[in-house]
Structure 1
Amino acid sequence: MRRISRRTALAGAAGTRLMGAETMQAPENRGSIRLGIIGAGARGQYVGGHMARDGRARVTAVCDLFDDRIEQAKKIVPGAGAAKVYKDYRQVLDDKEVDAVLIATPVYLHPEMFEAAVAAGKHVYCEKPAGMDVAGVQRLMQAGRKADPRKVIQFGFQQRFSPEYLKARELVAAGRLGELKILMSFWILGMSPRLAPPAAQPYPELPEEMRRVRLWTRWRELSGGDIVECDCHGLDTLNWFAGGHPVSALGKGGLRYPIFYGNITSDHYDIIFSYPNGAEGYLISARAACGFRDVREQFYGSKGVLETARTYYRLHGPVAAARLANDDQLEDTSMIEKFSSRREITIDAVEAFFTAIAEGQQRNMSQDAGLSTLTSILGRMAFELKREVTWEEMLRTG
């Protein structure tokens, strides 16, 4: 498979979500942190919009390979209309009027751009994951270890900054579940599958090389596949709650529906991860299988069960031994504690990023982000090889 040159794809579209309507209260010292957006696709516009609305930041630079993405960002992201425009991310990093950067580009570019951003002395908010293969992730982690400790380095694993997830993690650490033995991540995304080929290929006006960059999620060598590009969120949460990464993985997956552009080899996964303390983590993933969405985690212990999601957490205890009118009606019989999220958790992550910068807090997420991405790659290898794969074997592929 022909690889796309680094020069061709210095920046590109990223993400699939549209701009939301959530707002954040603007603190004082408005606009003192100068922000450069590298990658002005849907995700760059979404996260960049929340960053611009934080109040402590102002957008001074926007960079993307595609003119229409830049124009969209200038209209959607507050203040971006007056920002300088670049086509080469290195120009953003050379700009002395940029203090912090958002990297929201195709996954395979993350290691290169992160390494350069760290070397340029910027605060970095990099979208997940840390890379598409072991070599790239190791490159990013090595750069992270060399980073100036005064610079804030954060990744788009939003769950780690949600008050609800943080509270749930405290419950586990405090022993409210007993010994944690089973961890589950459900990553079921909506969208109905396409059953017939489209009348024409997308973006027919673009050369094939540029079209692949524009539609990078459809190519395994650009995105890492769905398990790396998307399911890494849930696996990061499992690692976080387990207190470390797994030692091996065993699983399966495949394509239930045909693809008509790209080379992605699976639209569903069922992976079992073995952790050092004997706990097992399960990833149950499917996309474009039906118009249904179910994204959450569950944690099982001897004393209870905890369920987390982007909109709530729920703590359940043992059900009474007495026969119930409906044995499946657990919420009223086993619920101990429930709390709903007050806002979209990306806002919590953005707020934490700028608070750390403004208050001089030390934060470097590069190692945790790298380990969670490697966990996703471990799961991908288990599916592809159709056997158990150890952590050490996975690392040797780098």
Structure 2
Amino acid sequence: MSHTNSKPSASRRDFLKTAAATAGAAAAVQLSLPAVHAAGSDVIKVGVIGCGGRGTGAAENVLSAAPNVKIVALGDVFEAPLKRCRKRLTEFAQSDRIKQLGNSVELSDGTCYQGLDAYKGVLSSEANYVILATPPGFRPLHLEAAVAAGKTIFTEKPVGVDGPGIRRVLKAYEEALHKGLAIVAGTQRRHQRGYLETLKQIHDGAIGDLVGGRAYWNQGILWKRDRQPGMSDAAYQIYNWYAYLWLCGDHIVEQHVHNLDVLNWAFGSHPEKAVGMGYRVPRDKGYGAIYNFFAIDYEYPKGVHALSMCRQISGCANEVGEYLVGTKGTCHVNAYSINGKRVASRGGADPYVQEHTDLIESVRSGKPLNELKQVAESTLTAIMGRMSAYTGKAITWDMALNSKENTYPEGLTLDMSLPEPEVPTPGVTKFV
């Protein structure tokens, strides 16, 4: 898991140049792709698993990303988002831009699947490209199944909420490599021109060796959903998924993972240890037991520290972004600024579209991208920070990865009774 340097005397930027060259050489190797992959100008047939706002948005993005794309299957636990998604995509496909690309939405009642097993219907359809956009607690299960089915995969971040889930994802990553499958993650900054140009200069030594960093996602309070009449515990928790650890992972995992991914990208490694804090101010009913603020000190290789801060409380100072400190200067990453000077433009393609363009191009060129390991590492970076805040203990990478805390309800059914969780208390809550 660790990206260690085989030559301790070399600088981190030397390592990153070597790693980039190695990755480029590996990407150039032609793989024998399964027949399920589109090749050349073959049609990309998309199935969407999770039809809420993000799944619907990702489906619109892929329709905008390349020619010869069709939406052929949808799946969701609930009927309402399934119907909304189908209606919106059907209308979206009527735009001149989508028609010019030769793209379409071809859905029927028989290709729209509902229930906890809806993902199985989508994976058994004619789709050769699947979007995984359910609440992240389901992601390990769906990734395993999509890889087993040999699909090209766009997976939203994060890709799990606990150590056991990440272990499953890393195993799926190895299987995907063996099969030559293409997987791109919804950490869209890695497909955003300004970030790419800025981080290239950092890796080329623009501010010297990195000695520190900061990452923020501080914003106002986020949404909650009220329980509807007749809803079981399980149905309600899935409906109001952001409030529950087993589905969301808490907002440091579900949201702040974007900024932590940028730190890992910049440092060329995941952190080795996390020490942090967090808690929650009083919240209305409907917010489960998740925290509304975290502050984490991450220790990266060579003793380099980075501060992480995220908060969801209205009426406070807000910021979303990343900063780096080097031996020769500083970088405000999301501002594309090095030592106070803008080094990249704000233009370029919409990264939410570009990530699909890059994925499709990698398949059609026979050089499949596979981002699953890096997003798994960024997800576990967030998880180890949450673990430290919940317990009040220092948590190492290996502790987080090998944790036995499996949050997914055993034998989950939609009519299951599930208790309301207790708020974790630092110094009392135990690491498992």
Match of 1:46 in 2: 57
Q: Is the 8 Å Cα contact of residues 150 and 360 (structure 1) preserved in structure 2? A: no
Residues 142, 192 of structure 1: alpha-carbon distance in 2 compared, 3 angstrom cutoff: closer
Residues 264, 230 of structure 1: alpha-carbon distance in 2 compared, 3 angstrom cutoff: farther
Give the whole-Å Cα distance in 2 for the aligned partners of 1:41 and 1:216: 12
Match of 2:133 in 1: 104
2:112 equivalent to 1:85: yes
Q: Aligned match of 2:280 in 255, 261, 276?
A: 255
Q: Which has the higher helix share?
A: 2
Give the whole-Å Cα distance in 1 for the aligned partners of 2:105 and 2:142: 21
2:325 equivalent to 1:314: no
Q: Is the 8 Å Cα contact of residues 127 and 156 (structure 1) preserved in structure 2? A: yes
Quote how far apart the aligned CAs of 1:233 are. Answer: 1.1
Residues 344, 205 of structure 1: alpha-carbon distance in 2 compared, 3 angstrom cutoff: farther
Number of residue pairs the alignment of both structures matches: 345
Q: Comparing 122-131 with 181-190, which one deviates more in the overlay?
A: 181-190
Quote how far apart the aligned CAs of 1:31 are. Answer: 7.8
Match of 1:4 in 2: none
Residues 193, 74 of structure 1: alpha-carbon distance in 2 compared, 3 angstrom cutoff: closer
Q: Comparing 99-108 with 279-288, which one deviates more in the overlay?
A: 279-288
Q: Calculate the aligned-residue CA RMSD, in Å.
A: 2.1
Q: Aligned match of 1:71 in 83, 87, 91?
A: 83
- Aligned-partner SS, 1:394: helix
Q: Is the 8 Å Cα contact of residues 192 and 290 (structure 1) preserved in structure 2? A: no
2:195 equivalent to 1:165: yes
Give the whole-Å Cα distance in 1 for the aligned partners of 2:44 and 2:172: 23
Q: Is the 8 Å Cα contact of residues 152 and 181 (structure 2) preserved in structure 1? A: yes
Question: 1:320-350: CA deviations, max 9, x gaps?
Answer: xxxxxxxxxxxxxx42535214343212212
2:255 equivalent to 1:223: no
Match of 2:351 in 1: 345
Gap regions ≥5 residues in structure 1? 1-28, 195-199, 317-333
Quote how far apart the aligned CAs of 1:134 are. Answer: 0.3
Partner letter of residue 391 of structure 2? L
Q: Is the 8 Å Cα contact of residues 191 and 292 (structure 1) preserved in structure 2? A: no
2:47 equivalent to 1:36: yes
Residues 291, 76 of structure 1: alpha-carbon distance in 2 compared, 3 angstrom cutoff: farther
Where has structure 1 moved over 6 Å in runs of 4 or more? none
Give the whole-Å Cα distance in 2 for the aligned partners of 1:369 and 1:43: 17
Q: Comparing 72-81 with 219-228, which one deviates more in the overlay?
A: 72-81
Question: 1:225-269: CA deviations, max 9, x gaps?
Answer: 111111111111111110111110111111124141142331011
2:373 equivalent to 1:367: yes
Quote how far apart the aligned CAs of 1:56 are. Answer: 3.5
- Aligned-partner SS, 1:82: coil
Question: 1:16-58: CA deviations, max 9, x gaps?
Answer: xxxxxxxxxxxxx888100000000111011111112223421
- Aligned-partner SS, 2:184: strand
TM-score calculated relative to the size of structure 1? 0.81
2:136 equivalent to 1:124: no
Partner letter of residue 396 of structure 1? N
Q: Aligned match of 2:211 in 181, 191, 216?
A: 181
- Aligned-partner SS, 1:362: coil
Partner letter of residue 42 of structure 1? G
Residues 338, 144 of structure 1: alpha-carbon distance in 2 compared, 3 angstrom cutoff: closer
Q: Comparing 288-297 with 45-54, which one deviates more in the overlay?
A: 288-297
Match of 1:378 in 2: 384
Partner letter of residue 112 of structure 2? V
Q: Is the 8 Å Cα contact of residues 30 and 57 (structure 1) preserved in structure 2? A: no
Match of 2:364 in 1: 358
Partner letter of residue 175 of structure 1? G
Give the whole-Å Cα distance in 2 for the aligned partners of 1:249 and 1:139: 22
Give the whole-Å Cα distance in 2 for the aligned partners of 1:130 and 1:336: 33
Quote how far apart the aligned CAs of 1:81 are. Answer: 6.0
- Aligned-partner SS, 1:76: helix
Q: Is the 8 Å Cα contact of residues 38 and 64 (structure 1) preserved in structure 2? A: yes
Partner letter of residue 58 of structure 1? K
Partner letter of residue 277 of structure 1? K
Q: Is the 8 Å Cα contact of residues 193 and 349 (structure 2) preserved in structure 1? A: no
Partner letter of residue 337 of structure 1? V
Give the whole-Å Cα distance in 1 for the aligned partners of 2:223 and 2:77: 29
Give the whole-Å Cα distance in 2 for the aligned partners of 1:368 and 1:89: 24
Give the fraction of aligned pairs with identical amino acids, expressed as a percent. Answer: 26
Match of 2:10 in 1: none
Q: Aligned match of 1:212 in 224, 229, 237?
A: 237
Give the whole-Å Cα distance in 2 for the aligned partners of 1:157 and 1:39: 17
- Aligned-partner SS, 1:273: strand
2:310 equivalent to 1:285: yes
Quote how far apart the aligned CAs of 1:371 are. Answer: 1.1
Partner letter of residue 390 of structure 1? T
Residues 223, 336 of structure 1: alpha-carbon distance in 2 compared, 3 angstrom cutoff: closer
- Aligned-partner SS, 1:339: coil
Larger relative contact order (Cα-Cα within 8 Å, sequence gap ≥ 6): 2
Partner letter of residue 74 of structure 2? V
Match of 1:21 in 2: none
Quote how far apart the aligned CAs of 1:281 are. Answer: 1.4
